[in-house]
Amino acid sequence: MLTVFERIPDLFVQMYDAQFQAWAREFKARGPKQAIRFGRPKGAPVLLDGEGRAIEAGAWLVAEVDRSGASVRVIIRPATEHDQELIARHTREMQPHFLN
């Protein structure tokens, strides 16, 4: 089965490959909508909410199984335009840290 990422930068897919693989392994249990948690650059401070819990950043993605062609493929895309913007911004911010 082929996986196609739409409106998601390749670097983002590389950075979060482990989360994508876990989603694929557990797709039946997790379903077609999944949040990908963003990592922080090394040395970046942990942001806390008013109750002292770490604030987690991320974006929602949706997967669609496409059986219309000769082979079955899974299409993964941001759930909303806002999620697409979050992914693009996070990828730009993380690029210097990821490539070094």
Would you say residue 95 has pLDDT above 80?
yes
- List pLDDT tens digits, range 17-34: 999 999 999 999 999 999
Work out the pLDDT band at 41, boundaries 50, 70, 90: confident
Instruction: State pTM to two decimals.
Output: 0.89
Non-local (6+) Cβ contacts of 91 within 8 A are 9, 11, 12, 15
Could you give the CA distance from residue 45 to residue 7 in angstroms, rounded to a whole number? 29
Work out the pLDDT band at 1, boundaries 50, 70, 90: confident
Between these two residues, 48 and 100, which has the higher pLDDT value? 48
Could you give the CA distance from residue 1 to residue 57 in angstroms, rounded to a whole number? 30
Could you give the CA distance from residue 95 to residue 50 in angstroms, rounded to a whole number? 30
